[in-house]
């Protein structure tokens, strides 16, 4: 099992928010987004929407937007 951690951080120069992604126990980020979000909540919502879209719940009783039903 691997742990993936996503942190939202503020860019002091622009006042915008960006994300860093860490894998396992690594102290260096493996990915970093642009500082293009207005708040930590906006960025978190975008990340959650991305995850919901690409890793949907395939339970037979859950609507799956990836297949249109």
The pLDDT assigned to 53 comes to 84
| Tens digits of pLDDT across the chain (69 residues) | 889 999 999 999 999 999 999 999 888 999 999 999 999 999 999 999 988 888 766 666 666 666 655
The pLDDT assigned to 51 comes to 86
The pLDDT assigned to 39 comes to 97
CA gap 12, 7 in Å, rounded: 16
The pLDDT assigned to 67 comes to 66
Per-domain boundaries in the chain: 4-54
SS3 of 55, please?
coil
The pLDDT assigned to 65 comes to 65
CA gap 11, 32 in Å, rounded: 12
Give the Cβ contact number of residue 19 at 10 Å: 21
């Amino acid at each position: 099992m691997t742990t993936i951690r996503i942190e939202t951080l503020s860019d002091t120069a622009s006042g915008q928010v960006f994300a860093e992604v860490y894998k396992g126990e690594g102290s260096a980020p493996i990915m970093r987004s642009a500082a293009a979000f207005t708040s930590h909540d906006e960025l978190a919502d975008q990340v959650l929407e991305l995850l919901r879209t690409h890793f949907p719940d395939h339970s037979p009783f859950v609507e799956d937007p990836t297949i249109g039903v």
